[in-house]
Structure 1
Amino acid sequence: MKKLNTVLLALIGVGISSTALAQQTAKEPGEWYLGARVGALSLDSDRQGIKENVLYQADDGFSTFAGGLEGGFMLTEFWETRLYYDYVQAGIDGAPGDLYGYSYGVDYLYHLNDNFYAGLGINATDVGDLTDAMVRATFGHRSFITDQVSWRVEAGAQRGWELDHTELFANVGLQVWFGEPTASDVQERPVVQPKQAQQTTQETVDSDGDGVIDSKDKCVNTPAEYSVDENGCVKYKNETVREELLVEFAFDSSKVPESAMSRIEDIADFMKKHSQLDITIHGHTDSVGEEDYNQWLSERRAKAVADILVNRFDVSGQRVSYKGHGESDPKVMEDSAADRQENRRIEAELKVVNRVPVER
């Protein structure tokens, strides 16, 4: 076991060299792999195990062998889940022989780019029939030898919550990929044969530079600043635009302040631009006075603003309605004259959903 550290470091060095020379190939959702892994654990200095009914102290440092199998699945473009099972062989501190065990668990990995990833997981690590449930943090690098074969090198740490162990690990792995992407923006390019070179060049022309070749582009000359779908047509999204109207009134008054006319005109212009919209003016009062009187006053305030929209700013009366709420719906709790002023008001809101292009 003492030579394990040197052997595993050599293996990791080979993996790093291989990944440095390999191509970068991002995988898509729906693709999955099976693989083999080999590495080393640096066990906690308190890690113990049982052999022939005797409790022994396990070697610490990177002297514990861990190797096994793994399988993974691409959940999204960035997220991957992985299951693994490792055979574990640890030396005994100060005595001949080994402690045997296993480590198995699940990781969720986030791809920082085409090569580097980081993740969290949980596992159970057993050494000499003593098992600790652990949380694991991983950082790794993966590159592809071919489209279907990849190398990876990774390292990390794990922390137990039952036996309170803190341990490090490092390993290399080889994966073979299977399956078809569930969604992909990758364009298949025809194989160039010598006699077909000119034809192939024509088939891969993308005149408007939107990422969709002309032979598949159903919307030519799309603007460069917009995203497109698989047919080369501009993608759209819904965008909500709101206009709000708030006018405050003097005490016991339904006269609309001249200072509010500019904002009311803005609402009228918005309604003329969006002819499908109607508006309801909601009138309110403070809590001073009789309830019936305040109901009447709130209706007068709402009607006054509605009349200005119709008579002064030429909005069709069929599109304008009003309603009084009296003192029943205060904007703020009344503890002062300033609070009562905020409650003497009319309110209205207009909302329209526009279909706008998605920018790159």
Structure 2
Amino acid sequence: MKFKNTLGVVIGSLLATSAFSALAQGQGAVEVEGFAKKEIFDSARDFKNNGNLFGGSVGYYLTDDVELRLGYDEVHNARGEDGRNIKGANTALDALYHFNNAGDALRPYVSAGFSDQSIGQSGRSGRNGSTFANVGGGAKYYITENLYARAGVEAQYNIDQGDTEWAPSIGIGMNFGGGSKPVAQVAEAAPEPMPEPMPVEEPAQVVRVELDVKFDFDKARVKEESYGDIKNLADFMKQYPQTTTTVAGHTDSVGTDAYNQNLSEKRASAVREVLVNQYGVEGERVSAAGYGESQPVADNATESGRAINRRVEAEVETQVK
């Protein structure tokens, strides 16, 4: 579980992937930091006092929030029970997950990873080597878009000896490239054109003209008083040349069925002739039909009812927008 054999490969990979992009503090960014730690050693190693660690790190943002960080520091001011200085170094590889958004001034984080430590007393050949599993947390405050200060603490579990050490730390770093879009660029971007509104099609309206021409008893002659109504129907059909109509003749119940059928057909033909010959509606647009006494609309037992049933009806309708 030693890192020395892979240290060169990791450093090379970070440098190879640290090409700067146009924007700051997010995916593709590189952070370089100098830091100081206070190592609170575990009791098993019998050190007389805790050590000061000074070092640096380089990190690469895999996403806007996830950073892979490689760090190196050296141990100072630690002493053994015999008073001799303790010297050594730590190499660590950690992953950091940042909260808030890339570009925010304050970005808390949590971290996890592994480190390798090699320390020993000055003047002695033997050295103590340990591998640690690290977890920690802290926050970065971006003084400018590229300059930040950091404070945090790590718990380091000594996998080889089974003890835990603590290391609070502070650091100053620089951020280069990568990340979220600056607000100014978003504000200056040209707005997308609004789609053209779809035309609202007004619903069609039905327009209609109805004709009801009354006849004297046993007559098929169109009375003068009905010509105005027939002209209104003709004008409507001229205004809407796609329309057609059927004029329907009817009688009262006086007389035989055959006689009344023939009389109703004559009445329908008389109205059609006025429409076509007098008011100029095309003949193919007007047809005539007789229904005899079969479709009364009033009571044939009374004179007034029979007068209503002696009629010719027509209806023309169309849809307009």
For normalisation by structure 2, the TM-score amounts to: 0.41
Q: Return the index of the structure with the highest Cα Rg.
A: 2
